[in-house]
Structure 1
Amino acid sequence: MRPLTWLIAMLGGTIGTAHATDFLDQSYKALSPNQLDSVVLEVAKVMRDPTSLIFRGLTHPNTGSPFVDNGVVCGFVNGKNAYGAYVGFTPFVYQGPINDPLVTIYAPQADDPDYGNALRKHMMDVSGCAAALGL
């Protein structure tokens, strides 16, 4: 193999594995490729180990409001903690547009003030994700 071809092949293999992502079901097929890429990238930004993400139950909630439904994706994500163990599936809300999204991970924590927990729950309710995910 020529040196330049070998270098390009090696770089292509490493660049494409920056975020190893797994899907436990076929729900990701409901999203456009651009939206799926944006969801994975934005959720990875707020997770401790962005290379260990596992998604399931991705859905577009239908609240009947074009203001809420536009660009909202929700589902469950699992990732590793600081000890390298998976923490369990946690609900999330992604609210786009793709160029300026907001991601909310609904993960109540014992040391989190009640306000933070209430705010995340409110986001799940208002976006329609709580109902869509059966929470």
Structure 2
Amino acid sequence: MRLFMRVLLLNALMATSAHSQAVMDQSDKSIPPELLRKVAASLVLATRDPFAAQLIMLTYGVKNQDDLCGLINTKNEYGAYIGFKPFHYRDTDHRIHIDDASACD
């Protein structure tokens, strides 16, 4: 049932034209909307509440310009934010890697 709900959410995210997470510092202005939609879709499988994710300091990766780097704040199982952690989104495998900013160095 849980997998079904995640797949349903993923389909809903892919169908919308806007991304679900909030970019708190306007750093998304230079990021293409399509890339932001891909990041939002990857959050469905990587976080407990993808709609509540907060992003800041978005930049392109140093090693690969197709990667997106920044800080992400997500909620834990109790619904509380856990604090900003580094992340990078790798466009080649369409996955977000939280607590791993190795592509951003």
Find the partner of 1:102 among 79, 82, 95: 95
Distance 2:49 2:37 in 1: 17
Q: Where does residue 45 of structure 2 map in the other structure? A: 45
Question: How large is the Cα RMSD of the aligned pairs?
Answer: 2.0
Q: Higher Cα Rg: structure 1 or 2?
A: 1
Hey, which bits of structure 1, 4+ residues long, moved more than 6 A? none
Cα drift, residue 41 of structure 1: 1.7
* 1:22 to 2:22 alignment: yes
Any gaps of 5 or more consecutive residues in structure 2?
1-14
Distance 1:20 1:102 in 2: 16
Q: Where does residue 88 of structure 2 map in the other structure? A: 93
What do residues 36-86 of structure 1 show as CA deviations (whole Å, max 9, x unaligned)?
Answer: 111122133201111211111110033xxxxx4141001111111111111
Aligned-pair identity (%): 34
Q: Where does residue 5 of structure 2 map in the other structure? A: none
Q: Where does residue 72 of structure 2 map in the other structure? A: 77
With the length of structure 1 as denominator, give the TM-score of the two structures: 0.58
Cα drift, residue 102 of structure 1: 2.5
More helix by share: 1
Cα drift, residue 20 of structure 1: 4.1
Any gaps of 5 or more consecutive residues in structure 1?
1-14, 63-67, 107-119
Distance 1:44 1:76 in 2: 17
> Aligned residues, how many?
89
